[in-house]
Amino acid sequence: MLETGKKAPAFSLPSVSGRKIALKDFTGKKVVLYFYPKDNTPGCTQEACDFRDSMARVQAAGAVLLGVSADSIASHEKFRDKYELPFELLTDESHEMMEKYGVWKEKQNYGRTYMGIERTTVLIDEKGVVSRIWNKVRVKGHVDQVLAAIEEG
């Protein structure tokens, strides 16, 4: 189970830029890792665009932003291009990394039970330690909460 104050699980995932991205690549920087259910759906699009519109503040705070879902790289490329997203989108089609982070969960919708991604954001500090976790994220106002946390230290 992911906990604040503990080392964030290591990962190395394919990205929309065509290379593998690993947590260790960002030692010395804060990492905002946001998990979202699906490219091009209303909530996920709003969240991605909110992060896009706040990239200057994310970067000014010395942080890196990474979006993660189980969608394919091809899907991520269309999503990135359509909304001009200036950050990496990573794919975890095997759900292995998402399981380590505790975001691959049983969900229910209209009486149907299925496995899926619980919208979650994790803030990892410069030493690779989890400093903040937002579970069951509500998109409206969420980016402001994340920005406040990275800007305060």
Active site residues: 44
Residue 143 CB neighbours (<10 A):
25
Do you know the residue count of the chain?
153
Q: Which residues of 54-91 are buried (b: 16+ CB within 10 A; e: fewer)?
A: eeebbeebebbbbbbbbbebebbeebbeeeebebbbbb
Asked if 88 and 11 touch (Cβ cutoff 8 Å), the reply is no
The percent of the chain in helix, strand and coil, each rounded to the nearest 5, is 30, 30, 35
